[in-house]
Amino acid sequence: MNKQQLINELKKEGFSNLILKAFQKVKREKFIPKHLKPYAYRNEPLSIGEGSTISQPYTIAFMLNLLELNKLSGLTKNINDKLLSNIIKENIINNKEKLSEQENLGKKYEKVDFTNKEDKIKILEIGSGSGYVLALISEILKIKNLKLDYEIYGIEINEELVKKSKNVLKNKNIEIIKSDGSKGLKEKSPFDRILVSAAFEKIPENIFSQLREKGILVTPVRNSIFQFKKIENKIKSREFPGFIFVPVVED
């Protein structure tokens, strides 16, 4: 399977153009061992050494969808790129008005949800491995005509993977830290989004406090993927069973 075949497969699953474009842009072969490069675009997990894996593209796309990064970036549904560009220029960059003030667009759209207006957008991935998902998140946040101020953090416990991912990722907005991810990254919190790319044995309630209001945590717990939303300081959850992940490694 080549990259375009993989993109077509993900498209059939109903993932957004935003996610598909990120998969199109990021070269998966850069994040896996040399001998596995011919298999880079198979829709399956691959070993990245050190007892770790790079997740199946479908699973990654599923979790990115649950992160709702489109709401952070101000993207809306059912508006073409040119119209969206004009709205963003007029209302956000120049006048800082809300999109809901626009009239007579002729199409329905969702209100923009800027979760974090005052500070930088902060995103954390626990178990960042080779850095592939960090690269995908970064691409999603690079929205045309919308200059986002963001920081992305990756926590990886394996020193060799930390070195390799730092060598591949050349992005000043991404910082990879060697640490025990089971505790999150309190010193950089609160986060707008937290993604965990390995499975906890039980719901990681200790990380909830590191979410900003309206923040989202997406994490595997045993064989399910959970989405946790922090709304008015309360946690709302959804569960999606039927997945397999390597476990979170603790010191």
Confidence of residue 147 (pLDDT cuts 50, 70, 90): low
What is the rounded CA–CA span in Å between residue 74 and residue 96?
Answer: 12
Average pLDDT score over residue span 38-50: 92
Q: Does domain 61-72+115-241 have CATH number 1.10.150.20?
A: no
Lookup: tokens for 30: 């850069």
**What is the model's pLDDT at position 246?**
87
What is the rounded CA–CA span in Å between residue 184 and residue 150?
Answer: 18
Q: What type of residue is 68?
A: E
- 171: buried, middle or exposed (CB in 10 Å: 19+, 13-18, 0-12)? middle
Q: Three-class SS of residue 38? A: helix
**What is the model's pLDDT at position 73?**
55
What is the rounded CA–CA span in Å between residue 134 and residue 140?
Answer: 10
Mean pLDDT of the chain: 83
**What is the model's pLDDT at position 119?**
65
Cα distances from 179 to residues 84, 101, 145, 174, 234, in angstroms, run: 40, 45, 35, 15, 28
pLDDT, tens digit, for every residue of 191-249?
Answer: 999 999 999 999 999 999 999 999 999 999 999 999 999 999 999 999 999 998 988 87
Q: What type of residue is 248?
A: V
Are 216 and 208 a contacting pair, CB within 8 Å?
no
Give catalytic residues, as residue numbers: 55
Cα angle for residues 208, 69, 67 (degrees, 5° grid): 45
Residue 113 pLDDT > 70, yes or no? no
Q: Phi, psi (5° rounding) for residue 191? A: -110, 145
Cα angle for residues 139, 144, 194 (degrees, 5° grid): 35
Lookup: tokens for 118: 């005052």
pLDDT, tens digit, for every residue of 48-101?
Answer: 987 789 999 999 999 999 999 988 855 444 334 444 444 344 443 444 443 333
Question: What is the number of residues in the chain?
Answer: 251
Q: Edge to edge, what strands does the sheet with 150-156 contain?
A: 174-178, 150-156, 121-126, 191-196, 211-221, 224-231, 234-241
Average pLDDT score over residue span 137-150: 78
Q: Which residues pair with 151 in a beta bridge?
A: 122
Q: Three-class SS of residue 53? A: strand
Residue 112 pLDDT > 50, yes or no? no
Annotated domain spans of the chain: 61-72+115-241, 75-112
